[in-house]
Structure 1
């Protein structure tokens, strides 16, 4: 029996995923197709693909796993979606402050924005930067240089 499915393919490498994973049933193949096209899937479906080690990430921003990325030779895309360790981002902030003494939120956003995972929305990136700054503040590494939270700059704590 031959089955033909018509639709729009955004990534020609998708067929390589299917070739490398012949154990996938039709439902899993469709779910994986939705993920690679950036379409939201249900939690139970995401959990199933995670159990098969095909996807990673949070429900709203799933991306292909390392093994799948390797099968389509998109390891760089995987790293861009996964992101880097939080310590990397914190080090960037600290190095910036060592070099320039102070930075406002806009400057820190500019420093980190392009380095944050592509799988995050702009709102999620804002929260990520906020969480990084808060973590550094809570460890007494950085502080604000004034009372006005909107106009104050981040500085290294003595």
Structure 2
């Protein structure tokens, strides 16, 4: 763990748990998201049924997470009432926890364990999905990528907590 990771770990020892609100899978590139209530997270691979699970084992982008609170900010920056999570191409929507506090930290959702690896920056596809200004609205609020470090079943409603 680098020095930034150690500093974050020190100040997030008592981070309150959040909640997994939504799960989305993309079976293939450019395919629409399929909403599910539960999924098997496979160590080193990704979410069963998601296209990333078929990619390179060990990828740092096995799962993508975004915060429900950030969804509200993105909508506000775009002058919209809300932004449908399915359009953002992320796998997991969580609430009640600061995702930035989990960066480079191990965390658990349901039976599975993860480590947040990198920011999930918005891509140009957001402009076509949400409209002009989407990339600018999402800068800093695109969520995180994570690796799965222990397989397990996750369900909507599960707690997300630092371990």
Normalised TM-score (structure 1):
0.24
Larger radius of gyration: 1
